Amino acid sequence: MDIIIFCGSILLFAMLLMELLDWLCLVSSSRCSESSWINPFIYGENNGPRVWRLLYPESRGCEQSPINIDGQCATVVAHSEPLRWQGYCDEPASMVIVNDGNKVILLGVWRSSMRPCLSGGPLKGVYDFCSIEFRWGPANDEGSEHSIDYMRYPMELQVVHTKRSTCTLPGVTTNDRDVVVILSYFFQLTSIDNPYLDHVVTNLWRISNPGCRFTVTAFPLEWLVPSFNTKFYTYSGSITQPPCTENAIWILNPCPIAISAQQISQFRNVCSIEGPILSNSRPVQKLNDRQIFYYT
């Protein structure tokens, strides 16, 4: 009888130890910072896009983003050099999702010194992957920053790249107009979940508070960022949040990606310092004298 009690005690202790180790692992991978990642919320009533023109001089420029893409007015570029994708099928060593207080960001670290990169098409140079950012709205009929022929989508995924020959970060003032390349994908509502979003969506609750980050199971970028070589729009514009620097080339894929209503709703549970982030999209800006190109 004593042996049975002793063995039972050892088993119970082992189970408690495993639970403790699992808890410690969770705490170490999910961290919240009071300063590193938190940015002031810039989509509220008193400090949102409608007052940016008063606070950020660059936002008053003539080449601001986002815009509406009018397909009939786009200049067609035929027989062009295709976009070239490198490293998007490679699994990174680690991946982190971050709540910066305004949006959800996906970051990665690769084993080799070469990060995924993009070249060709309208690009003059090589652009290295920097981050993926998600934009959404308060309802399923809005959320994307750009629109195609005045049609908006419930969510927009933006893949930020920086030019390899520069050390300038997105949003930093510079005279160069092509420092940043942003690939834009639209999400279209479907009745079933998109499994390629699972690693992000199922862990959003872990970064619900501003400043939190969580290490997710790594996966190739191509799960979220399907490659395309032609049939895309491109134009010169700006970063879509302050300081709204006009140093970005936008490349928009008009073919939408699937997402369910349940998956979108999880993003609206992510919080800023003011509460749930129901919208983090800037309204459409004037095209002015710019041209939109369509690469066939």
pLDDT in tens, 203-260: 999 999 999 999 999 999 999 999 999 999 999 999 999 999 999 999 999 999 999 9
Same domain membership, residue 140 and residue 26? no
Q: Choose the weakest-confidence range: 15-24, 97-106, 198-207.
A: 15-24
| pLDDT tens, residue by residue, 62-99 | 999 999 999 999 999 998 899 999 999 999 999 999 99
Enclosing domain of residue 119: 33-295
Same domain membership, residue 235 and residue 94? yes
* CATH code (residue 270): 3.10.200.10
Share of the chain above pLDDT 90, in %: 78
Same domain membership, residue 171 and residue 278? yes
Same domain membership, residue 79 and residue 185? yes
* pLDDT interval class at 7 (50, 70, 90): very low
Number of domains in the chain: 2
Same domain membership, residue 140 and residue 64? yes
pLDDT score, position 176: 81
Residue 284 has pLDDT above 60, yes or no: yes
pLDDT score, position 37: 65
Same domain membership, residue 277 and residue 239? yes
Same domain membership, residue 66 and residue 21? no
Same domain membership, residue 159 and residue 18? no
Q: What string of H, E and C letters represents the secondary structure of the chain?
A: CHHHHHHHHHHHHHHHHHHHHHHHHHHHHEEECCCCCCCCCCCCCCCCHHHHHHHCHHHHCCCCCCCEECHHHCEEECCCCCEEEECCCCCCCEEEEEECCCCEEEEEECCCCCCCEEEECCCCCCEEEEEEEEEECCCCCCCCCCEECCECCCEEEEEEEEECCCCCCCCCCCCCCCCEEEEEEEEEEECCCCHHHHHHHCCHHHHCCCCEEEEECCCCHHHCCCCCCCCEEEEEECCCCCCCCCCEEEEEEEEEEEEEHHHHHHHCCCEECCEECCCCCCCCCCCCCCCCEEEC
| pLDDT tens, residue by residue, 150-207 | 999 999 999 999 999 765 555 555 568 899 999 999 999 999 999 999 999 999 999 9
Same domain membership, residue 67 and residue 23? no
Same domain membership, residue 120 and residue 20? no
Same domain membership, residue 144 and residue 21? no
Looking at residues 8-17, what average pLDDT do you find? 41
pLDDT score, position 27: 39
| pLDDT tens, residue by residue, 56-65 | 999 999 999 9
Same domain membership, residue 164 and residue 96? yes
